[in-house]
């Protein structure tokens, strides 16, 4: 069971079945961790090597997520931040109905399989529903354990709906 707690204008997600697990919205003090996790994600992903890594871009992204109510970045913190998920709600180009989309989900390599990713996705689902989204779209494009990640999302009730193609220029 996931429930929301309002505390000093900050929404906190707690999942009682995991004991002291805390999933909460990212705070400004977490931006350096976002940058470091982004670096590890970039280094682990074979798909993004054609792009340069930018600390300033991640700094800007973290600030943007904090300043826009249509965006959320969630952290799993237990003895330090071990996982993070970010996403947004948006209108489809043909409708005023909202969809939610995940921008990234990253769990430290040594913590994968420990339910952190599942709990982050569940908290994102609670947020998306509270924001009025009619659906959530996730992507598996980093090339990090792709088969396992697709299976992970399918086990959470997500269905494959699209094909993404890429051409390196």
Asked if residue 112 is part of any domain, the answer here is yes
Sign of CA dihedral 112, 116, 120, 126: positive
Using one digit for the tens of pLDDT, what is the confidence trace for 103-129?
A: 888 888 787 777 888 999 999 999 999
Give the global pTM: 0.81
Range(s) of the domain holding residue 146: 25-155
Identify whether 104 is part of a domain: yes
- Domain-located, residue 1: no
Whether 62 and 34 have beta carbons less than 8 Å apart is answered as yes
Of 1-15, 18-32, 126-140, where does the model show the most confidence?
126-140
pLDDT digits (tens, 9 = 90+) for 57-72: 999 999 998 988 899 9
111 is a domain residue: yes
How many structural domains does the chain have? 1
């Amino acid at each position: 069971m996931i429930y929301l707690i309002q505390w000093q204008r900050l929404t906190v997600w707690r999942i009682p079945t995991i004991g002291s697990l805390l999933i909460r919205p990212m705070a400004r003090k977490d931006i350096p961790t976002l940058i470091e996790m982004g670096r590890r994600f970039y280094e682990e992903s074979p798909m993004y090597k054609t792009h340069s890594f930018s600390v300033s871009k991640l700094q800007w992204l973290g600030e943007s997520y904090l300043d826009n109510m249509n965006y959320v970045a969630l952290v799993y913190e237990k003895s330090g931040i071990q996982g993070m998920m970010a996403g947004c709600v948006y209108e489809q180009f043909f409708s005023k109905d909202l969809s939610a989309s995940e921008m990234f989900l990253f769990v430290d390599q040594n913590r994968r399989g420990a339910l952190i990713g599942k709990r982050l996705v569940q908290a994102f689902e609670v947020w998306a529903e509270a924001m009025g989204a009619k659906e959530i779209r996730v992507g598996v494009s980093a090339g990090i354990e792709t088969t396992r990640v697709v299976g992970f999302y399918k086990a959470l009730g997500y269905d494959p709906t699209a094909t993404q193609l890429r051409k390196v220029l």
